[in-house]
Structures are given as structure tokens and as C-alpha cells.
């Protein structure tokens, strides 16, 4: 039996989710439950001896929403849908990977991996916690795909199946780099072993007897390293040359090619064993740096589009009744039903019902838009209220939302070239210096000593190959990525740190970024309400699906009173009559009979109250800004230019001005294109812009900015295409993150200086012809290791300085 969690007060805690139970909880024996959903899940687990679930975490259970619509998962029985969702299917078995955002603790993992005990048709369930994914193998004869999803939903883990999941395969990180690194390590170790006779005099007899054979064997080992392990450097250098740009991989590739060629020439002509130990070691150490750089957040998706927001199925209305179909099957002329809190999947005409459409995801406007029969509603809006009957006028791929996302103006390239990294800038000058020194070495030694000439020329290219320079950036910034990731700022790649460090302009969205979308401050204005009147208002408001009514009911939170009648008028308000006979009207000014313009001096959203035909007052709902906002804006305003781009009206202007100060630029009523244009204009003026926003209405600006940060209250929720994802709870540390980024760039510059010192020493030896295989084997790995260690230590010191 699970332990009953008790709240600090005398209230009972739900035995499943731990929430405070209502005055009269639903009981099972001696256990209280806050809702029927929680009790049902407990019964299911208890019947299958799975109550260990409750012992693995303090609050393992989740609040269960009772949303049971018949046929809700019928669309999954479609062969077309299954062909796209299933990653494997044979005559007996099927396998698919589903996204389960509710997964949050050890109990979740334990329960989900024990699904076979809940249904014999489930063969295996494997969880990937970081990506919030579960891979399920099931028997086609015993359980269907809709039943698999229904099973997950029945225990509180309904998978999130969106349009983006159709055709998606399970996430598999690329193993190519691991194979390349393994091959380079194998070759490096063996070639170093074969090169021992060159380093120690006591094995000279071994060199005399087997030296030529060891040379050929080293060539055989080094050849796959050149063709496979090092091909990424050559490909990158080639792409840079095709774009008329010399990146850091160009001198690396030049040095690798020269080192391999000279070594091959020496082995084939019998002049020596070559430098294959240095060649394979160089590739190995640089691949380590690449691996460190790549080890970032496979679980996160920085390139999501509208399909990650759209539902995968919709209810179609046919002469035979309701039918659940895939969104991809929607066609012009189809009649569909969209219920409360469902997303409109395609542009459509409203045929029946009163629309209260929340377009905050698309436009940024937080106030729901009223729509009546005959009006056009756009895809991406969320219905708040009664079910609507719509007629599709444009397919999913042709809708306004899709066209907005696919607009070429919203691509990153349209905003101009990205900032050049320090490593590439240094590499461009470094390769010029390297080529100049190599040419000078040839010219000096050519008339004096032909053998020394080629050895010195090759040595210059080898020692000047910027392996340490190339390792400085990935190791320093790779360490920084891990530090920031631990504090819930997830960057797409290390180059984003350089952009954040050089930023001078920060642009914020308002709705959902500066404000907390889950809260609003409620304040009453008017004559004092009696306790019974508050109870009547709270009881009536709780009957409505409108978000303002729901927020009002939570705010009042009093004991319910019996109602004789209650009727909601979508887009206007509701009327109710208590059993005692008292009449209530709650809603817009016009609905309750107040002035159409609303109370003077109250720009906030209002809900008016009339009791027994008498106007008693009104409730105002104001945005609640995130608690850490004042402090972080004070810190940021000392160094950065600040701006706010909001799709809302200017009603919040005075409050935002007080938060941002007189120097900040505030713009309201901004469309997605307006936001993009503003960011592009700032960049054209030479500013380095960081955009912080959420939702599709910010997608263009996020892409147009030098760096786009998507703020999210839940990491697994939709985030638009961006360069970084920041969890909202850490918004207050934004100034700290930016300061840490600047410190990391200084760490990179310090490692550059160390690398240049090594190169100066090596080049002094190389141009004199004193660079030998022994010097190569010792100096190059030593320089690489010292750079890696120094980069990591400097970043850790910076993290401690900024208390990260």
C-alpha cells in the first residue's frame, strides 16, 4: 500500500498525486483521492501489484484530467498513420517511439517500463528519460496501436502525438564520430608502438631488422585514418573554399595532407619511418575536441516548426457521424469539430458555435478573439469554450500559419551572415602566416641542402598545423555548454556562446516571455461583496470553460452553493440563479448592462458583475510578470540596449516602462513580420541582437537575430526554431549567463595565446630543420593536452566566479 502524502495543514493529500483533496474526497477504503482519474489509476496499479510506483518518489503521481472522448484514438488504426508512426512492423510485432512529456521522475520510468505487466500484448517498453520518449514493442494479434496509446493514457501518461511525429523515426544519435574516433585511437596506439625504435637507442637492432616493415605497417594503419577519420576536416575545408572562405579546418587539412604525403614518400623510398605517429595522434586529439563539442543535448530540438504544435488527428463530421482522421487527410470542404482547448488545424470558416480563439501562439495577442458563424478562423488558434463546427477552406500545407513559417524572410540567412567566430578569424591569419613561413623555408634551404629543405618545409606545416588552436574553442566552449546546460540554458552549439558574449542589444517578447502565462492578478472594484455573493459568483464561474471564468473561480475558491439555473452566452458572459432565488449576470459590460466603454481608467481585461439586476462592480485581470524580472532587467540595462516587441495593445505600456526604464524601446501591436523587420533593421545598423521570445509569432525574429533564445515553462513543450532554449525558471539569471559567456571568450583567447607560444617554439625548430619525429611525438600531444586542460580549468574558474 502506498504512503498517504499529507499536506502541511490538516487537509488530506491525494494518495496518487499528493494534491490537497477537496472537502469531500473520493475514497477507496481509507485512501483519499482528489479526483476520479487519480482513484482509477491507483486501482489499476493496485490490481496489478505495481504500487512500488509510489515508493520511488515523493510525488510520483500526476494530476489526471478526465478527458475521455469516445473514439479519440481511432485515427491511429489507419494504415496510413501506422505506416508513418511505426519504426518496425512484422507479421507479429510492431514497434514505435512516443513522446511522453509527463515523465518526470524515477517512478515514471519504473512504471512505464513495467507496462507489460498491465497488458500481455506489450512485449517491451524502454524509456529514454532525457528525451521524454518511450519505445514500445507490442504483439499485433493481442493489442492494437490505439489500445497501446489508450493504455498509456489510462495511467496518466498520454503521449503527445503531433503532426511532426508522423514519419518521424526514433531519435538515433549519429555514431559516425565514435567510429572515427575509435579507428584513430586504434591506429594511434599501434603506430606509436611501432615507432618505439625511433625513440630509444636500446632497440636500434629492432629498427635495423624490422624498420622498413614497421614503416609499411604504419602506412597501412594510417591510411584508413586519412580516408575515414579525417575526412570531416577535408570536407569542411573544401566547403569553405567553395564559398571563398578559409576556415580553421583548411590549415588543419593542409597540415594533415602534407604530413601524410611526406611520411608516405619517406617510407616508400626507404629514407625513414615518416611521421605516421604524429599524424594519427593529431587526428585522434582533434576528434576528441570534436566529440566534446558534439556532446550537447541530443534530447533538445532547436529546429521545430508548426507541425510540432499541430494535432495529428481531428474529428471530421460525416453523414454517418463523427470520424477521427489524420490531419494530413484534411481536404477543402471537410466539416470538422474543434472542442475546448483544441487547436484549429487548418484555415476554416466557422459554421456553428461561438468562437473564442486564442491566437497568442501565432500573433502574440493574449486576449481571445470572438468569432461568429461565417467568420474565417486561422490555423494555429486554440478554441476556448464550446465546440465549434468548421468547414475547411485551405489544406494544412496551404494555410496562413504554414505560409508564415515557410516564408523565406523567416530564414536565418535572410538576416545576414552570422558572426565570424574567433577560431575562424584566427585561422584565416594563421594559415597565411603558415604558408609564408613554409615558402620562406623552401627558399632558404633550396640552394643549401635539398634533404633539409623538404624536412624543414614539412616540419613547418606539421608544427604550424593549428591543432591546439582548433582544440581551444571546442574544449573551452564545450565545457561552457555543460555548465549552462546544468542551469537549464541549452545552446544549439558552442558558437552561440560567442554570439551571446558579443551581444549589445536584447529584444524581448511580452506575452509568455515577460509574463507568466499560467497566472493573472485578479482585483475586485465596487461595493463589498457578501460571503454568499462570493460563493454564488465562484460557483457560477466554475461552470464556464472561459479562461477568465476559470481564473476567477480559482481566485474566489469558496464553498459551492446550489444553482437553480446556469446558462453561458459565448463571447458575452453567463447568467445564473441560486437556489435561494438570487440572480447573477457575469461577463462583458454590455452583457450586464454597464457602460459599453467600461469603467474609466481601467485598461485591463474586465469581468463585470450584476446581482439581482444591480451593477455591483467588476473584476480586473492583469498580467503577472515573472518575479525575477525587475532584478534581471536592472542588471541588463547597465550594459545592453533593451527593447520589447509585443503583439498586445499598449495597455501594459506604463508598467513595462517602469520595469525597463526610459531608455528602452517599447513597441506594441507588432505582427510577426514587424518583429522580424525590427530585428533585421537593428542588425543592419551593426548591432549584435539577441531575441528572447516564445511561440510562432516570435519565430521570424528568433531566426533573424544573431542568437534567438526560446523561453519555455516546460522543456518538452513546443519551442520555435532557435539557437538556445531557456527554461523560464532561470530567466532571472540571464545577466549571469551573458557575463559567463564573456568570461568564456576570454578563456578562449587565453588558450589561443598558449597555443601560439607552442607554435612559436615549434616553428623556431622547424625552420632550422631540427624538427624530428621525436619532437613531433612529444611536442604536439603535449601542446594539445595542455590546451585542453587549460581551457577546461579556465571555464570552471569562470563558472565558480559567476556561481554557476
Please state the rounded mean pLDDT for residues 261-278: 79
Query: Is residue 605 domain-shared with residue 662, that is, in the same domain?
Result: no
pLDDT at residue 277 in the model: 80
pLDDT at residue 168 in the model: 45
Q: Which CATH number fits the domain that encloses residue 549? A: 3.40.1110.10
Q: What sections of 487-562 are H helices per DSSP?
A: 495-501, 531-542, 547-556
Residue 63 lies in a domain: no
> How is 326-391 classified by DSSP, letter by letter?
EGGG--TT-EEEE-TTPBP-S-EEEEES-EEEE-TTTT---SPEEE-TT-EE-TT-EE-SS-EEEE
Task: Tell me the range of 282-296, 480-494, 725-739 where mean pLDDT is highest.
Answer: 725-739
Task: Tell me the range of 242-256, 372-386, 737-751 where mean pLDDT is highest.
Answer: 737-751
Backbone torsion region of residue 173, taken as left when φ is above 0, otherwise alpha when ψ lies between -120 and 50, otherwise beta:
beta
356 burial level (CB within 10 Å; 0-12, 13-18, 19+): buried
Query: Is residue 381 domain-shared with residue 411, that is, in the same domain?
Result: no
Whether the predicted pLDDT of 605 surpasses 80:
no
pLDDT at residue 405 in the model: 52
pLDDT at residue 134 in the model: 87
Element (H, E) at 611: strand 605-611
Cα–Cα distances in Å, from 484 out to 417, 490, 750?
A: 26, 7, 21
pLDDT at residue 715 in the model: 47
Whether the predicted pLDDT of 284 surpasses 90:
no
Residue recorded with cell 556562446: 497
Please state the rounded mean pLDDT for residues 269-298: 71
Q: Which of 298-302, 430-434, 526-530, 619-623 has the lowest mean pLDDT?
A: 298-302
Distance between CA 522 and CA 621 in Å, rounded?
A: 5
Residue 69 lies in a domain: no
pLDDT at residue 702 in the model: 84
Query: Is residue 778 domain-shared with residue 702, that is, in the same domain?
Result: yes
pLDDT at residue 422 in the model: 61
pLDDT at residue 466 in the model: 58
Residue 215: band (very low, low, confident or very high) from pLDDT cuts 50, 70, 90: confident
Asked which of 371, 406, 441 is the last residue of a domain, the reply is 406
Element (H, E) at 88: strand 86-89
- The better pLDDT of the pair 792, 766 is held by 792
In degrees and rounded to multiples of 5, residue 798 shows phi and psi of -65, -40
Query: Is residue 320 domain-shared with residue 399, that is, in the same domain?
Result: yes
- The better pLDDT of the pair 629, 417 is held by 629
Query: Is residue 662 domain-shared with residue 721, that is, in the same domain?
Result: yes
Element (H, E) at 291: helix 276-294
Whether the predicted pLDDT of 388 surpasses 80:
yes
Residue 1: band (very low, low, confident or very high) from pLDDT cuts 50, 70, 90: very low
Query: Is residue 682 domain-shared with residue 574, that is, in the same domain?
Result: no
Opening angle at CA 492, ends 491 and 497, nearest 5 = 50
pLDDT tens across 29-65, in order?
677 777 666 777 777 777 777 777 776 666 666 655 5
Residue 55 lies in a domain: no
Asked which of 624, 648, 663 is the last residue of a domain, the reply is 624
Mean pLDDT score of the chain: 76
Residue 587 lies in a domain: yes
Distance between CA 233 and CA 253 in Å, rounded?
A: 6
pLDDT at residue 224 in the model: 92
Please state the rounded mean pLDDT for residues 747-759: 78
Question: 461 and 258 in contact (C-beta within 8 Å)?
Answer: yes
Please state the rounded mean pLDDT for residues 147-154: 86
Query: Is residue 251 domain-shared with residue 270, that is, in the same domain?
Result: yes
Whether the predicted pLDDT of 643 surpasses 90:
yes
Query: Is residue 798 domain-shared with residue 667, that is, in the same domain?
Result: yes
pLDDT tens across 172-211, in order?
456 788 888 889 999 988 888 877 666 655 555 555 556 6
- The better pLDDT of the pair 233, 417 is held by 233
Residue 67: band (very low, low, confident or very high) from pLDDT cuts 50, 70, 90: very low
Query: Is residue 664 domain-shared with residue 801, that is, in the same domain?
Result: yes
Residue 535 lies in a domain: yes
Residue 295: band (very low, low, confident or very high) from pLDDT cuts 50, 70, 90: low
Query: Is residue 632 domain-shared with residue 509, that is, in the same domain?
Result: yes
Output helix, strand, coil percentages for the chain, rounded to the nearest 5: 45, 20, 35
pLDDT tens across 310-351, in order?
666 677 888 887 777 777 778 888 898 887 767 788 888 888
Please state the rounded mean pLDDT for residues 286-293: 69
Whether the predicted pLDDT of 305 surpasses 60:
no
Residue 421: band (very low, low, confident or very high) from pLDDT cuts 50, 70, 90: low
Please state the rounded mean pLDDT for residues 229-254: 76
Please state the rounded mean pLDDT for residues 497-501: 88
Residue 60 lies in a domain: no
Q: Which CATH number fits the domain that encloses residue 373? A: 2.70.150.10
Residue 750 lies in a domain: yes
Question: 514 and 331 in contact (C-beta within 8 Å)?
Answer: no
Query: Is residue 529 domain-shared with residue 500, that is, in the same domain?
Result: no
Enter the C-alpha cell of residue 550.
Answer: 476559470
Strand partners, 139: 93
* Helix/strand/coil for 728: helix
Residue 773: band (very low, low, confident or very high) from pLDDT cuts 50, 70, 90: very low
pLDDT tens across 572-595, in order?
788 899 888 899 999 888 888 876
pLDDT at residue 7 in the model: 34
Asked which of 624, 657, 676 is the last residue of a domain, the reply is 624
Whether the predicted pLDDT of 77 surpasses 50:
yes
- The better pLDDT of the pair 103, 398 is held by 103
Name the residue range of residue 532's domain: 518-624
Q: Could you say which DSSP state residue 117 is in?
A: G
Residue 36 lies in a domain: no
116-155 burial, b at 16+ Cβ within 10 Å, e below that, comes to eebbebbbebebbbebbbbbbbbeeeebbbbbbbbbbbbb
pLDDT tens across 422-473, in order?
666 666 677 677 778 778 887 887 787 766 776 677 667 666 655 556 666 7
Query: Is residue 773 domain-shared with residue 670, that is, in the same domain?
Result: yes
Residue 297: band (very low, low, confident or very high) from pLDDT cuts 50, 70, 90: very low
Element (H, E) at 778: helix 773-801
Whether the predicted pLDDT of 740 surpasses 90:
yes
pLDDT at residue 738 in the model: 93
Question: 399 and 163 in contact (C-beta within 8 Å)?
Answer: no
Q: How many domains does one find in the chain?
A: 5
Cα–Cα distances in Å, from 216 out to 194, 277, 590, 682?
A: 10, 13, 93, 60
Residues 6+ apart with CB under 8 A from 600: none
- Percent of the chain exceeding pLDDT 90 equals 8
- The better pLDDT of the pair 238, 420 is held by 238
Please state the rounded mean pLDDT for residues 238-264: 75
Cα 374–chain centre separation = 38
Amino acid at each position: 500500500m502506498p504512503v498517504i502524502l499529507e499536506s502541511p495543514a490538516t487537509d488530506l493529500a491525494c494518495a496518487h498525486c499528493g494534491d490537497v483533496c477537496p472537502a469531500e474526497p473520493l475514497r477507496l477504503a481509507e485512501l483519499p483521492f482528489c479526483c476520479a482519474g487519480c482513484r482509477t489509476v491507483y486501482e489499476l496499479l493496485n490490481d496489478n501489484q505495481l504500487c512500488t510506483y509510489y515508493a520511488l518518489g515523493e510525488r510520483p503521481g500526476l494530476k489526471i484530467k478526465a478527458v475521455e472522448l469516445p473514439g479519440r484514438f481511432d485515427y491511429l488504426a489507419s494504415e496510413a498513420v501506422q505506416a508513418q508512426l511505426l519504426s518496425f512492423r512484422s507479421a507479429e510485432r510492431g514497434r514505435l517511439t512516443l513522446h511522453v512529456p509527463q515523465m518526470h521522475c524515477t517512478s515514471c520510468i519504473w512504471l512505464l517500463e513495467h507496462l507489460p505487466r498491465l497488458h500481455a500484448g506489450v512485449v517491451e517498453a524502454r524509456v529514454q528519460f532525457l528525451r521524454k520518449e518511450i519505445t514500445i514493442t507490442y504483439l499485433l494479434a493481442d493489442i492494437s496501436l490505439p489500445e497501446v496509446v489508450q493504455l498509456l493514457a489510462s495511467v496518466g501518461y498520454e503521449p503527445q502525438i503531433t503532426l511532426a511525429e508522423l514519419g518521424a523515426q526514433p531519435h538515433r544519435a549519429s555514431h559516425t564520430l565514435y567510429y572515427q574516433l575509435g579507428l584513430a585511437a586504434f591506429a594511434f596506439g599501434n603506430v606509436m608502438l611501432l615507432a618505439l625504435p625511433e625513440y630509444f637507442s636500446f632497440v636500434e637492432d629492432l629498427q635495423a631488422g624490422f624498420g622498413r616493415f614497421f614503416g609499411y605497417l604504419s602506412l597501412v594503419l594510417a591510411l584508413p585514418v586519412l580516408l575515414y577519420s579525417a575526412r570531416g576536416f577535408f570536407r569542411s575545408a573544401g566547403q569553405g573554399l567553395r564559398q571563398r572562405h578559409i576556415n580553421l579546418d583548411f590549415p588543419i587539412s593542409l597540415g594533415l595532407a602534407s604530413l601524410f604525403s611526406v611520411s608516405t614518400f619517406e617510407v616508400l623510398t626507404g629514407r625513414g619511418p615518416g611521421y605516421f605517429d604524429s599524424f594519427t595522434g593529431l587526428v585522434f586529439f582533434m576528434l576528441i575536441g570534436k566529440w566534446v563539442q558534439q556532446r550537447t543535448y541530443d534530447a533538445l530540438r532547436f529546429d521545430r516548426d508548426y507541425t510540432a504544435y499541430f494535432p495529428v488527428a481531428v474529428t471530421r463530421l460525416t453523414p454517418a457521424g463523427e470520424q477521427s482522421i489524420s490531419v494530413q487527410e484534411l481536404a477543402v470542404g471537410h466539416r470538422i469539430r474543434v472542442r475546448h482547448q483544441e487547436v484549429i488545424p487548418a484555415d476554416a470558416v466557422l459554421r456553428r458555435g461561438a468562437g473564442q480563439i486564442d491566437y497568442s501562439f501565432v500573433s502574440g495577442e493574449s486576449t481571445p478573439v470572438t468569432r461568429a458563424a461565417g467568420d474565417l478562423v486561422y490555423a494555429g488558434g486554440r478554441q476556448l469554450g464550446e465546440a465549434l463546427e468548421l468547414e475547411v477552406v485551405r489544406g494544412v500545407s496551404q494555410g496562413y500559419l504554414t505560409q508564415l513559417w515557410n516564408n523565406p524572410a523567416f530564414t536565418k540567412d535572410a538576416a545576414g551572415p552570422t558572426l565570424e567566430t574567433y577560431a575562424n578569424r584566427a585561422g584565416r591569419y594563421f594559415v597565411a602566416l603558415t604558408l609564408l613561413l613554409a615558402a620562406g623555408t623552401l627558399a632558404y634551404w633550396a640552394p643549401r641542402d635539398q634533404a633539409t629543405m623538404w624536412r624543414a618545409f614539412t616540419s613547418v606545416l606539421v608544427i604550424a598545423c593549428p591543432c591546439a588552436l582548433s582544440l581551444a574553442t571546442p574544449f573551452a566552449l564545450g565545457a561552457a555548454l555543460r555548465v549552462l546546460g546544468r542551469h537549464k540554458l541549452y545552446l544549439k552549439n558552442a558558437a552561440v556562446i560567442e554570439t551571446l558574449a558579443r551581444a549589445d542589444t536584447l529584444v524581448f517578447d511580452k506575452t509568455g516571455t515577460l509574463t507568466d502565462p499560467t497566472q493573472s492578478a485578479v482585483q475586485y472594484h465596487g461595493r463589498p461583496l457578501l460571503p454568499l455573493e462570493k460563493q454564488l459568483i465562484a460557483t457560477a464561474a466554475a461552470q464556464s470553460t472561459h479562461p477568465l471564468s476559470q481564473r476567477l473561480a480559482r481566485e474566489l475558491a469558496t464553498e459551492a452553493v446550489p444553482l437553480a439555473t446556469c446558462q453561458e452566452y459565448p463571447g458575452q458572459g453567463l447568467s445564473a440563479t441560486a437556489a435561494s432565488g438570487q440572480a447573477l449576470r457575469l461577463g462583458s459590460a454590455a452583457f450586464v448592462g454597464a457602460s459599453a466603454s467600461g469603467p474609466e481608467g481601467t485598461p485591463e481585461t474586465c469581468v463585470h458583475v450584476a446581482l439581482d439586476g444591480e451593477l455591483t462592480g467588476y473584476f480586473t485581470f492583469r498580467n503577472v510578470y515573472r518575479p525575477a524580472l525587475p532584478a534581471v532587467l536592472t542588471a541588463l540595462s547597465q550594459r545592453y540596449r533593451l527593447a520589447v516587441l509585443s503583439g498586445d495593445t499598449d495597455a501594459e505600456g506604463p508598467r513595462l516602462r517602469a520595469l525597463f526604464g526610459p531608455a528602452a524601446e517599447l513597441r506594441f501591436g507588432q505582427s510577426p513580420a514587424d518583429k522580424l523587420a525590427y530585428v533585421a533593421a537593428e542588425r543592419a545598423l551593426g548591432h549584435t541582437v539577441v531575441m528572447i521570445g516564445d511561440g510562432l509569432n516570435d519565430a521570424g525574429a528568433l531566426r533573424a537575430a544573431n542568437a534567438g533564445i526560446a523561453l519555455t515553462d516546460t522543456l518538452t513543450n513546443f519551442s520555435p526554431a532557435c539557437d538556445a532554449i531557456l527554461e523560464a525558471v532561470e530567466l532571472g539569471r540571464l545577466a549571469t549567463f551573458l557575463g559567463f559567456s564573456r568570461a568564456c571568450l576570454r578563456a578562449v583567447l587565453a588558450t589561443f595565446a598558449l597555443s601560439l607560444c607552442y607554435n612559436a617554439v615549434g616553428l623556431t625548430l622547424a625552420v632550422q630543420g631540427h624538427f624530428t619525429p621525436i619532437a613531433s611525438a612529444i611536442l604536439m600531444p603535449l601542446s594539445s593536452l595542455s590546451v585542453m586542460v587549460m581551457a577546461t580549468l579556465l571555464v570552471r574558474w569562470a563558472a565558480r566566479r559567476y556561481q554557476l
